[in-house]
Amino acid sequence: MSHFPSIILASRNQKKVDEISDLLKPHSIQMQCVTDFPDVPEVVEDGNTFRENAAKKASEVALNTSQWTIGEDSGLMIDALNGAPGIFSARFSGEDATDEQNNAKMIQELQDVSEEKRTAAYICNVALSNPQGEICLQTQASCHGRITEAPRGQNGFGYDPYFEIIELHKTFGELAPIVKQHLSHRARAFEKFIPQVVDLFRHQFSQD
């Protein structure tokens, strides 16, 4: 089998980079972070859906680097908040919001919502662009749970300490990273995405 090219992840979130890199390692696909390319400008996430934002990130970074690129967009959709924060999950309480500020706003907006109505879903959309900026693959997955009243656990990032997997009675913050790698929205999206990348690369680079 020909050597696969490395792929750039169009994200500056180091925890997300680490999580996705761990998912790719067993498939002999090396990942680089967009921060390794200081001349690449920030991508303006002005799409209306996770799909649009993931594709835009992949395409723009690929065009700026002439390399294969993964664009990933994910977020939390809370039923009682009509799907908010959704695509604005990372900036729910402002453009430069911290995880703590976003979580505080979420809890404030849910303060009068009963436990059974605090259902939510994490969504992850992943896109692969070729070096010419063309989207070759795209997939989406979700993970359903509910929002707790208080944070539990120190693992994960973002809304993880508040996102409880109902069947397990544990939040993402309480789950060991290896368990989250199998259950999360990101893990589920990449479970579908990675075999398609491997097949594409095998076909593409066996012709070279």
Does 13 carry a binding-site annotation? yes
Does 56 carry a binding-site annotation? no
* Cα distance between residue 85 and residue 91, in whole Å: 8
Does 74 carry a binding-site annotation? yes
For residue 200, the cross-strand partners are none
Does 160 carry a binding-site annotation? yes
Does 57 carry a binding-site annotation? no
Asked if 85 and 76 touch (Cβ cutoff 8 Å), the reply is yes
Does the annotation count 18 as an active-site position? no
Does 186 carry a binding-site annotation? yes
Does 142 carry a binding-site annotation? no
* Cα distance between residue 87 and residue 85, in whole Å: 6
Does 122 carry a binding-site annotation? no
Catalytic residue among 46, 73, 199, 208: 73
Q: Which residues are catalytic?
A: 73
Residue ranges for the binding site?
Answer: 11-16, 73-74, 157-160, 180, 185-186
Residue ranges for the binding site for Mg(2+)?
Answer: 73
